[in-house]
Amino acid sequence: MGELYTRAVEFYDEIWALKDPRVDDWFMMSSPVPSIVICIAYVVFIKLGPTIMKDRKPVEMRNILLVFNFLMVGLSTYCFVEFGMAGWFTGYTFGCEEVDYSNSPKAMRMVNVCWWFYFSKFIELFDTIFFVLRKKFNQCSFLHVFHHAIMPASWWFGVRFVAGGFGTFHSLLNSFIHLMMYTYYFLAALGPKYQKYLWWKKYMTKMQIIQFLLVTIHSVQLLYMRDCNYPRLFAYWILAYAVIFLVMFANFYVQAYRKKPAQVKGSEDHRNGSVSANGESSRRHAAKHHKKH
Protein backbone atom coordinates (compact mmCIF):
# COMPACT_ATOMS: atom_id res chain seq x y z
CA MET A 1 0.00 0.00 0.00
CA GLY A 2 2.83 2.36 0.88
CA GLU A 3 4.59 1.59 -2.40
CA LEU A 4 1.40 2.31 -4.36
CA TYR A 5 1.04 5.66 -2.62
CA THR A 6 4.68 6.52 -3.35
CA ARG A 7 4.24 5.71 -7.04
CA ALA A 8 1.07 7.81 -7.17
CA VAL A 9 2.90 10.78 -5.65
CA GLU A 10 5.80 10.34 -8.07
CA PHE A 11 3.41 10.17 -11.02
CA TYR A 12 1.66 13.33 -9.80
CA ASP A 13 5.01 15.12 -9.47
CA GLU A 14 6.01 14.08 -12.98
CA ILE A 15 2.76 15.34 -14.44
CA TRP A 16 2.84 18.56 -12.43
CA ALA A 17 6.35 19.24 -13.70
CA LEU A 18 4.86 19.58 -17.18
CA LYS A 19 2.58 22.48 -16.20
CA ASP A 20 2.76 25.77 -18.05
CA PRO A 21 4.64 28.25 -15.80
CA ARG A 22 3.10 31.21 -17.61
CA VAL A 23 -0.18 30.80 -15.70
CA ASP A 24 1.28 30.01 -12.27
CA ASP A 25 -0.11 33.20 -10.74
CA TRP A 26 -3.37 33.38 -12.67
CA PHE A 27 -6.74 33.16 -10.92
CA MET A 28 -7.80 29.55 -10.09
CA MET A 29 -4.77 28.06 -11.86
CA SER A 30 -2.84 26.88 -8.81
CA SER A 31 -4.94 23.73 -8.35
CA PRO A 32 -7.77 21.86 -10.10
CA VAL A 33 -9.60 21.36 -6.79
CA PRO A 34 -11.67 24.60 -6.81
CA SER A 35 -12.88 23.91 -10.34
CA ILE A 36 -13.85 20.34 -9.49
CA VAL A 37 -15.61 21.40 -6.27
CA ILE A 38 -17.64 24.05 -8.11
CA CYS A 39 -18.71 21.48 -10.73
CA ILE A 40 -19.79 19.02 -8.05
CA ALA A 41 -21.70 21.74 -6.17
CA TYR A 42 -23.42 22.68 -9.43
CA VAL A 43 -24.64 19.11 -10.01
CA VAL A 44 -25.84 18.80 -6.40
CA PHE A 45 -27.77 22.07 -6.65
CA ILE A 46 -29.44 21.02 -9.90
CA LYS A 47 -30.30 17.64 -8.41
CA LEU A 48 -31.91 19.29 -5.38
CA GLY A 49 -33.53 22.01 -7.47
CA PRO A 50 -37.09 20.57 -7.61
CA THR A 51 -37.04 20.08 -3.82
CA ILE A 52 -35.68 23.56 -3.16
CA MET A 53 -38.31 25.20 -5.39
CA LYS A 54 -41.20 22.89 -4.48
CA ASP A 55 -43.11 25.39 -2.33
CA ARG A 56 -41.78 28.51 -4.01
CA LYS A 57 -43.06 30.49 -6.95
CA PRO A 58 -40.94 30.72 -10.11
CA VAL A 59 -38.56 33.65 -9.89
CA GLU A 60 -39.27 36.44 -12.34
CA MET A 61 -35.96 37.36 -13.95
CA ARG A 62 -36.67 38.65 -17.44
CA ASN A 63 -34.40 41.67 -17.03
CA ILE A 64 -31.64 39.53 -15.51
CA LEU A 65 -31.84 37.14 -18.48
CA LEU A 66 -31.65 40.00 -20.95
CA VAL A 67 -28.51 41.40 -19.32
CA PHE A 68 -26.93 37.97 -18.81
CA ASN A 69 -27.51 36.80 -22.38
CA PHE A 70 -26.34 40.12 -23.82
CA LEU A 71 -23.09 39.91 -21.84
CA MET A 72 -22.60 36.28 -22.89
CA VAL A 73 -22.99 37.25 -26.54
CA GLY A 74 -20.19 39.75 -25.98
CA LEU A 75 -17.93 37.27 -24.15
CA SER A 76 -18.50 34.52 -26.75
CA THR A 77 -17.76 36.96 -29.56
CA TYR A 78 -14.55 38.03 -27.80
CA CYS A 79 -13.39 34.41 -27.40
CA PHE A 80 -14.19 33.55 -31.03
CA VAL A 81 -12.33 36.56 -32.39
CA GLU A 82 -9.35 36.07 -30.07
CA PHE A 83 -8.96 32.36 -30.84
CA GLY A 84 -8.95 33.35 -34.48
CA MET A 85 -6.53 36.28 -34.21
CA ALA A 86 -4.20 34.43 -31.83
CA GLY A 87 -3.84 31.47 -34.18
CA TRP A 88 -6.63 30.06 -36.30
CA PHE A 89 -7.01 33.10 -38.58
CA THR A 90 -3.34 34.03 -38.51
CA GLY A 91 -1.24 31.00 -39.31
CA TYR A 92 -2.54 27.89 -37.54
CA THR A 93 -2.98 24.84 -39.75
CA PHE A 94 -5.58 22.09 -39.41
CA GLY A 95 -2.88 19.46 -39.13
CA CYS A 96 -0.34 19.14 -36.32
CA GLU A 97 -0.28 22.45 -34.47
CA GLU A 98 1.97 22.31 -31.42
CA VAL A 99 1.61 24.59 -28.42
CA ASP A 100 3.75 27.73 -28.44
CA TYR A 101 5.08 27.93 -24.87
CA SER A 102 7.01 31.14 -25.48
CA ASN A 103 6.22 34.55 -24.01
CA SER A 104 5.73 36.18 -27.40
CA PRO A 105 2.74 38.56 -27.70
CA LYS A 106 0.89 36.13 -29.97
CA ALA A 107 1.50 33.13 -27.70
CA MET A 108 0.39 35.09 -24.63
CA ARG A 109 -2.69 36.28 -26.49
CA MET A 110 -3.64 32.63 -27.00
CA VAL A 111 -3.02 31.81 -23.34
CA ASN A 112 -5.18 34.75 -22.31
CA VAL A 113 -8.17 33.73 -24.45
CA CYS A 114 -7.81 30.11 -23.28
CA TRP A 115 -8.18 31.33 -19.70
CA TRP A 116 -11.22 33.47 -20.55
CA PHE A 117 -12.79 30.52 -22.36
CA TYR A 118 -12.18 28.36 -19.27
CA PHE A 119 -13.67 31.01 -16.96
CA SER A 120 -16.68 31.49 -19.24
CA LYS A 121 -17.64 27.88 -18.54
CA PHE A 122 -18.31 28.77 -14.91
CA ILE A 123 -20.46 31.72 -15.94
CA GLU A 124 -22.45 29.41 -18.22
CA LEU A 125 -23.45 27.32 -15.21
CA PHE A 126 -25.95 30.08 -14.44
CA ASP A 127 -27.96 28.91 -17.46
CA THR A 128 -29.10 25.87 -15.50
CA ILE A 129 -29.38 27.73 -12.21
CA PHE A 130 -31.80 30.13 -13.90
CA PHE A 131 -33.81 27.15 -15.18
CA VAL A 132 -34.15 25.87 -11.61
CA LEU A 133 -35.13 29.26 -10.16
CA ARG A 134 -37.75 29.65 -12.91
CA LYS A 135 -38.93 26.06 -12.29
CA LYS A 136 -38.13 25.06 -15.88
CA PHE A 137 -37.00 21.64 -14.72
CA ASN A 138 -37.66 20.04 -18.11
CA GLN A 139 -34.77 22.11 -19.47
CA CYS A 140 -32.36 20.50 -16.99
CA SER A 141 -31.85 17.41 -19.12
CA PHE A 142 -28.99 14.97 -18.62
CA LEU A 143 -27.39 16.25 -21.83
CA HIS A 144 -27.53 19.86 -20.66
CA VAL A 145 -26.25 19.23 -17.13
CA PHE A 146 -23.55 16.75 -18.17
CA HIS A 147 -22.26 19.12 -20.84
CA HIS A 148 -22.03 22.06 -18.44
CA ALA A 149 -20.65 20.05 -15.53
CA ILE A 150 -17.55 18.61 -17.18
CA MET A 151 -16.38 21.60 -19.22
CA PRO A 152 -14.94 23.85 -16.46
CA ALA A 153 -12.92 21.11 -14.77
CA SER A 154 -11.65 19.63 -18.03
CA TRP A 155 -10.65 23.03 -19.37
CA TRP A 156 -8.61 23.74 -16.24
CA PHE A 157 -6.19 21.07 -17.46
CA GLY A 158 -6.29 22.58 -20.94
CA VAL A 159 -5.15 26.00 -19.71
CA ARG A 160 -2.71 24.57 -17.19
CA PHE A 161 -0.89 22.28 -19.66
CA VAL A 162 -1.80 22.99 -23.31
CA ALA A 163 -2.94 26.60 -23.72
CA GLY A 164 -2.88 26.77 -27.51
CA GLY A 165 -2.21 24.68 -30.56
CA PHE A 166 -4.14 21.71 -31.89
CA GLY A 167 -6.64 21.43 -29.03
CA THR A 168 -8.03 24.95 -29.37
CA PHE A 169 -9.81 24.14 -32.63
CA HIS A 170 -12.85 22.92 -30.72
CA SER A 171 -12.87 26.04 -28.52
CA LEU A 172 -12.91 28.24 -31.62
CA LEU A 173 -15.99 26.39 -32.91
CA ASN A 174 -17.61 26.29 -29.49
CA SER A 175 -17.21 30.05 -29.05
CA PHE A 176 -19.04 30.64 -32.33
CA ILE A 177 -21.82 28.21 -31.40
CA HIS A 178 -22.30 29.95 -28.06
CA LEU A 179 -22.33 33.33 -29.77
CA MET A 180 -25.30 32.12 -31.81
CA MET A 181 -26.92 30.35 -28.88
CA TYR A 182 -26.89 33.37 -26.55
CA THR A 183 -28.15 35.56 -29.36
CA TYR A 184 -31.12 33.20 -29.60
CA TYR A 185 -31.61 33.28 -25.81
CA PHE A 186 -31.49 37.08 -25.81
CA LEU A 187 -34.14 37.37 -28.52
CA ALA A 188 -36.31 34.79 -26.75
CA ALA A 189 -36.11 36.76 -23.50
CA LEU A 190 -37.42 39.88 -25.26
CA GLY A 191 -40.92 38.42 -25.33
CA PRO A 192 -43.55 36.84 -27.62
CA LYS A 193 -43.46 39.58 -30.24
CA TYR A 194 -39.93 38.50 -31.15
CA GLN A 195 -40.85 34.84 -31.68
CA LYS A 196 -40.96 35.40 -35.43
CA TYR A 197 -37.20 35.94 -35.36
CA LEU A 198 -36.56 32.56 -33.72
CA TRP A 199 -37.42 30.33 -36.69
CA TRP A 200 -33.83 29.04 -36.71
CA LYS A 201 -34.08 27.28 -33.35
CA LYS A 202 -33.75 23.74 -34.72
CA TYR A 203 -30.71 24.78 -36.74
CA MET A 204 -28.89 25.41 -33.47
CA THR A 205 -28.89 21.68 -32.79
CA LYS A 206 -27.67 21.02 -36.34
CA MET A 207 -24.83 23.46 -35.74
CA GLN A 208 -23.93 21.60 -32.54
CA ILE A 209 -23.85 18.31 -34.42
CA ILE A 210 -21.67 19.77 -37.19
CA GLN A 211 -19.36 21.21 -34.54
CA PHE A 212 -18.75 17.85 -32.87
CA LEU A 213 -18.44 16.11 -36.23
CA LEU A 214 -15.70 18.54 -37.29
CA VAL A 215 -13.91 18.18 -33.95
CA THR A 216 -14.06 14.38 -34.25
CA ILE A 217 -12.53 14.45 -37.73
CA HIS A 218 -9.91 16.98 -36.66
CA SER A 219 -8.93 14.96 -33.56
CA VAL A 220 -8.74 11.58 -35.29
CA GLN A 221 -5.99 12.72 -37.63
CA LEU A 222 -3.57 13.29 -34.75
CA LEU A 223 -3.72 9.59 -33.92
CA TYR A 224 -1.86 8.92 -37.18
CA MET A 225 0.73 11.71 -36.86
CA ARG A 226 3.70 10.02 -35.23
CA ASP A 227 5.97 13.05 -35.41
CA CYS A 228 3.55 15.53 -33.80
CA ASN A 229 4.55 16.69 -30.31
CA TYR A 230 1.09 17.79 -29.22
CA PRO A 231 0.25 15.70 -26.07
CA ARG A 232 -1.78 12.73 -27.27
CA LEU A 233 -3.58 12.35 -23.95
CA PHE A 234 -5.39 15.63 -24.59
CA ALA A 235 -6.12 14.60 -28.19
CA TYR A 236 -7.73 11.38 -26.90
CA TRP A 237 -9.78 13.36 -24.37
CA ILE A 238 -11.00 15.86 -26.99
CA LEU A 239 -11.88 13.00 -29.35
CA ALA A 240 -13.82 11.11 -26.67
CA TYR A 241 -15.64 14.30 -25.68
CA ALA A 242 -16.55 15.05 -29.31
CA VAL A 243 -17.82 11.53 -30.04
CA ILE A 244 -19.92 11.36 -26.86
CA PHE A 245 -21.63 14.66 -27.55
CA LEU A 246 -21.98 13.97 -31.25
CA VAL A 247 -24.03 10.89 -30.39
CA MET A 248 -26.02 12.66 -27.66
CA PHE A 249 -26.88 15.73 -29.74
CA ALA A 250 -27.74 13.59 -32.76
CA ASN A 251 -30.10 11.53 -30.61
CA PHE A 252 -31.67 14.70 -29.22
CA TYR A 253 -32.19 16.04 -32.75
CA VAL A 254 -33.87 12.81 -33.89
CA GLN A 255 -36.16 12.76 -30.87
CA ALA A 256 -37.06 16.45 -31.13
CA TYR A 257 -37.29 17.08 -34.86
CA ARG A 258 -37.26 13.79 -36.78
CA LYS A 259 -40.20 11.82 -35.46
CA LYS A 260 -42.08 9.80 -38.07
CA PRO A 261 -44.95 11.74 -39.65
CA ALA A 262 -47.38 8.92 -38.82
CA GLN A 263 -46.43 9.06 -35.16
CA VAL A 264 -46.73 12.83 -35.05
CA LYS A 265 -50.07 12.77 -36.92
CA GLY A 266 -51.37 10.02 -34.71
CA SER A 267 -50.34 11.94 -31.63
CA GLU A 268 -52.01 15.11 -32.95
CA ASP A 269 -55.17 13.16 -33.82
CA HIS A 270 -55.23 11.79 -30.31
CA ARG A 271 -54.79 15.21 -28.75
CA ASN A 272 -57.03 17.19 -31.10
CA GLY A 273 -59.51 14.61 -32.35
CA SER A 274 -60.01 11.47 -30.33
CA VAL A 275 -59.71 13.07 -26.93
CA SER A 276 -62.05 15.90 -27.91
CA ALA A 277 -64.55 13.47 -29.41
CA ASN A 278 -64.46 11.25 -26.35
CA GLY A 279 -64.84 14.27 -24.15
CA GLU A 280 -67.84 15.49 -26.15
CA SER A 281 -69.35 11.99 -26.09
CA SER A 282 -68.94 11.82 -22.34
CA ARG A 283 -70.55 15.21 -21.86
CA ARG A 284 -73.55 14.21 -24.02
CA HIS A 285 -73.94 10.94 -22.13
CA ALA A 286 -73.81 12.79 -18.82
CA ALA A 287 -76.43 15.30 -20.04
CA LYS A 288 -78.81 12.49 -21.12
CA HIS A 289 -78.26 10.68 -17.83
CA HIS A 290 -79.02 13.87 -15.88
CA LYS A 291 -82.20 14.57 -17.92
CA LYS A 292 -83.40 10.98 -17.49
CA HIS A 293 -83.18 11.16 -13.72
Taking only the tens place, the pLDDT of each residue in 134-192 is 999 988 888 889 989 999 999 999 999 999 999 999 999 999 999 999 999 999 888 88
Q: Which residues contact 253 (CB under 8 A, 6 or more apart)?
A: 202, 205, 206, 209
Name the burial class of residue 182, with classes exposed (0-12), middle (13-18) and buried (19+) by CB atoms within 10 angstroms of its CB: buried
Give the residue numbers marked as catalytic.
Answer: 147
- Residue 281's pLDDT is 39
- Residue 199's pLDDT is 83
Biggest alpha carbon distance in the chain?
93
Interatomic CA distance for residues 129 and 134, integer angstroms:
9
Q: What is the mean pLDDT of the chain?
A: 85
- Residue 12's pLDDT is 58
Residues 210-248: tens digit of each pLDDT: 999 999 999 999 888 888 889 888 989 999 999 999 998
- Residue 1's pLDDT is 67
Most confident listed range (82-86, 141-145, 256-260, 279-283): 82-86
Is the pLDDT at 261 greater than 70? The verdict is: no
Bigger pLDDT: 10 or 220? 220
